[in-house]
Amino acid sequence: VTTGSDGITPRDGWSSRTAFILAAVGSAVGLGNLVRFPAEAGANGGGAFVLFYIFCIVLIGLPVLLSETLIGRHGQSSATESVRRMAAESKASRYWEGLAGLGVISAFMILAFYCVIGGWVLYYIGVFVGDLFTSGVTGGALAGMSAEDISAIFPALLENGLLMTVLDLVFVVITVYFVARGVSGGIEIAAVWLMPAFFILLLGITIYGAFGGAFSETLTYLFTVDFTKLTPDVMLAAVGQAFFSLSLGVAGMITYGSYVGRDVNLAGTSAIIAFADTSVALVAGLCIFPIVFAAGLSSEGGLGLMFDTLPHAFQSMPAGSVIGLAFFIMVGFAALTSSVALMEVPTSWAMEKFKTRRMPTAIAIATLAGLLGVASAYSMNALSGFHPLGFIPLFEGLGIMDTLDSVTAKLFMPIGAILTAVFVGWIADKRLINGENGLDGGLHKLWLFLVRWLCPVVLTLIVLFGIFG
């Protein structure tokens, strides 16, 4: 039995395999699936992007997901310590733990701006709660507002640094509430309650939206593959999105894997997690685009797809305010189970590093992430002229929030994933790997080939293309 940070009591862990699956799916399913996937698919030409995305999940994402969970399960401790243990048992340099250290930093950086966006979601929940009273339940949402009025909601929010700060901090507090209560008593509880509720809302809204008339248009849009649209840029976007969506490269799945019992088959479980995450991304497309197309709106627009286009679309939809409210509550649930995962990574690292108890450690991490979040919130208004890494051409002209996003997405996450694949594929003792991954025969060989060759090569190309392309 491994002990917790006090060295005496047994280490906390998932109470069952189902709890692990729900928590890992909760980590994977988030703003990435609901905001970024539809926006990227929309911006990158639909079907070609979607097909290549699925290809990336299966051949690159899934092998790395299994690599991360097996490092964690083997180590039964924080991400860095788990890598260090596997390295020591493989007689390799202890510096490999740096791959997890990089992940811990990335998770913290993403956490900071993720909670700001979580705050936006809270704002829209508020807008649609208020709207229930003004527009009523049967008619369209935002009754009496002109198209210009609706278009002004999102920019007005982004201008309001104070409001964003308050909402960000509320989101951080909700997140730390679950993290501070521990793995089985907090993180798991959030996943076990919120994920089923999320699935019900997603299916309900999708089915309702499908009757709006634009469902076949959406199918054509998402699944007609035009290979001329598969440019290097589109491929790059697809790989990056696949990694972000599966929560890879930030030591998150090493951390969650470290709470998994010895009896769980990791290969099968990882496949379930990847399947669920990808299904949610696709269903999110089938949920959002019919609503957008039925209102005659455009599928492009990045973050604006959710925070600007959809509110317009809810206006012309029967029972629009109810659907709008349900929609943003659903997004909030997904974002929360992901922010919990992001906060758990630095929390579990710090608990072990400084031998501290969970509650104060989680609160300290939350406070720091909150502060960086405040800076991010103001980077869209008062601080918009401040470009922290502006002296590096790659990050020129980016404010605080965009810098956090870019540095992690373009460099830290793919580099973390390359190191993970190389470590598991080449460095770690094969007997340790065989004992953990739950694979044998041809599948084991295929997996080993993917982590040794395909993942590092493709990911290195991604990093280089991101820098020089």
- When the beta carbons of 175 and 321 are compared against ligand PHE, the nearer one is 175
| Residue 3 neighbours by CB distance under 10 Å | 12
- When the beta carbons of 315 and 339 are compared against ligand PHE, the nearer one is 339
Give SS3 for 136.
coil
- When the beta carbons of 294 and 340 are compared against ligand PHE, the nearer one is 340
Query: Least separation, in Å, of the C-beta of 188 and ligand PHE?
Result: 16
Tokens matching residue 263: 């009896």
- Asked if residue 315 lies in contact with residue 142, where contact means CB atoms within 8 angstroms, the answer is yes
- When the beta carbons of 61 and 161 are compared against ligand PHE, the nearer one is 61
| 139: Cβ contacts below 8 Å, ≥ 6 apart | 318, 319, 320, 321
Q: How far is CA 11 from the centre of its chain?
A: 26
Query: Least separation, in Å, of the C-beta of 252 and ligand PHE?
Result: 4
Query: Least separation, in Å, of the C-beta of 243 and ligand PHE?
Result: 9
Query: Least separation, in Å, of the C-beta of 331 and ligand PHE?
Result: 10
- Asked if residue 122 lies in contact with residue 171, where contact means CB atoms within 8 angstroms, the answer is yes
Which residues bind to ligand PHE, rule: CB under 6 A? 27-28, 30-33, 110, 244-245, 247, 250, 252, 338, 341-342
Rg, C-alpha atoms of the chain: 22
Query: Least separation, in Å, of the C-beta of 326 and ligand PHE?
Result: 19
Query: Least separation, in Å, of the C-beta of 135 and ligand PHE?
Result: 30
- When the beta carbons of 110 and 153 are compared against ligand PHE, the nearer one is 110
Query: Least separation, in Å, of the C-beta of 101 and ligand PHE?
Result: 16
Q: If residue 274 lies in a helix (H) or strand (E), which one and from where to where?
A: helix 266-294
- Asked if residue 305 lies in contact with residue 35, where contact means CB atoms within 8 angstroms, the answer is yes
- When the beta carbons of 179 and 214 are compared against ligand PHE, the nearer one is 179
- When the beta carbons of 53 and 215 are compared against ligand PHE, the nearer one is 53
Residue nearest to ligand PHE (CB): 32
> 413-422 vs 232-245: helix axis angle to the nearest 10?
80
- Between the two ends of the chain, the Cα-to-Cα distance in Å is 49
Give the Cα separation of 196 and 82 in Å (integer).
Answer: 31
- Asked if residue 14 lies in contact with residue 261, where contact means CB atoms within 8 angstroms, the answer is yes
Give the Cα separation of 434 and 446 in Å (integer).
Answer: 13
